[in-house]
Amino acid sequence: MSSLRRPLLTNHNRCWIWGRNVVLETLRANRWPVIELLHSDRCDPGARAEAVGLAINRGLNVISVRDSEITKQCRSEDHQGLAARMPPFPYSNVTELLKVLSSNPVLVLLDRIQDSHNFGAIVRSAEVLGIDGVIVGTHEQASVNSQVARSSVGAVNYVPIAESIDLEVTVRELREQGFQIVGASDHAEQPIFETDFRKATLVLIGNEGRGIQPALQALCTQFVQIPMLGRVNSLNAAVSAGILFYEVLRQRRA
């Protein structure tokens, strides 16, 4: 299965992550390597000591600066006195992901999720609720950047995120390996509560406005929907994903 690495990120919002929680989780996990750590007196002393200690132990460039310097680099004032300069996110590929999975895994494939906050929130829910991995494409898909890292509260460091250059090929190969392919759709008749998620499953979550693309819909073995009672007949991608992931967890724990 193929993957594609994006070029070096150059936009400030994509080169820096900031905020106590996301920077600390990134340093703790040591999956997404940090290039440089900035800290100021504004940072909570305990968090500052831990971040600096982790960075020094790994031989990173650690710089004590004025609070205004971190604001300048991040172009944001909500950094809590802690920021890290990052290289491109180290995506795995689908083959690498499959090698580390347990039996009957549940994976989620995101089809052209373009909003960084939605992407990060989905990854956060996936980590909290026990999803084994996330697969994304390279076309019309938000990349793992500062906004994604922050909205995931650092969960991008713990959930395997694999990149596929051809989602259709990936879905077809997973189906051939015995995965049921479950598409989330407002138009489906089968509720999530009547779907057996104890099997090896690939859940497809589509674009915020257009849903799952037709080529991937054709590969689904079933479609499911979240029953809704209100007048607003749809949920955004991140909220839907969280509800669906919780049902997966409920069934598997039962």
Q: pTM of the full predicted structure? A: 0.90
H/E/C letters for each residue in 76-92?
CCCCCCEEEECCCCCCE
**DSSP letters for the chain:** ----PPPPP-SHHHHEEESHHHHHHHHHH-SS--SEEEE-TTS-HHHHHHHHHHHHHTT-EEEE--HHHHHHHHT-S-STTEEEE--S---B-HHHHHHT--SS-EEEEESS---HHHHHHHHHHHHHTT--EEEEESSS---S-HHHHHHTTTGGGTS-EEEES-HHHHHHHHHHTT-EEEEE-TT-SEEGGGS-TTS-EEEEE-BTTTBS-HHHHTT-SEEEE----SSS----HHHHHHHHHHHHHHHHH-
Residue 8 has pLDDT above 80, yes or no: no
The reported pLDDT for the residue numbered 13 is 41
Residue of 76, 73, 79 lying closest to 19 (CA atoms) = 79
| Percent of the residues in the chain that have a pLDDT greater than 70, as a whole number | 94
Cβ neighbour number for residue 165 with a 10 Å cutoff: 15
The reported pLDDT for the residue numbered 9 is 42
Q: What is the mean pLDDT of residues 101-121?
A: 94
CATH top class, domain 12-85: alpha beta
The reported pLDDT for the residue numbered 186 is 82
- Model confidence at 233, in pLDDT bands (50, 70, 90)? low
Q: Domains of the chain: which residue ranges?
A: 12-85, 94-253
Report the C-alpha gap between 158 and 130 in whole angstroms. 11
The reported pLDDT for the residue numbered 1 is 47
Rounded to the nearest integer, the mean pLDDT of the chain is 91
Choose the weakest-confidence range: 5-9, 25-29, 50-54, 202-206: 5-9
The reported pLDDT for the residue numbered 181 is 98
Q: What is the mean pLDDT of residues 185-214?
A: 92
Which tokens belong to 225? Answer: 């929907």
- Which residue type occupies 82? L
Side-by-side strand order, sheet with 82-85: 16-18, 82-85, 36-39, 61-64
pLDDT tens digits along 234-247: 788 999 999 999 99
- Could you name the CATH architecture of 94-253? 3-Layer(aba) Sandwich (3.40)
- CB of 137 closer than 8 Å to CB of 112: yes
pLDDT tens digits along 26-85: 999 999 999 999 999 999 999 999 999 999 999 999 999 999 999 999 988 999 999 999
CA of residue 1 relative to chain centroid, distance: 20
Residue 12 has pLDDT above 70, yes or no: no
- Which residue type occupies 245? F
What value, to the nearest 5°, has the Cα angle with vertex 97 and ends 92 and 102?
155
Q: At what angle do helices 45-57 and 20-29 cross, to 10 degrees?
A: 30
The reported pLDDT for the residue numbered 187 is 83
The reported pLDDT for the residue numbered 4 is 41
pLDDT tens digits along 121-147: 999 999 999 999 999 999 899 999 999
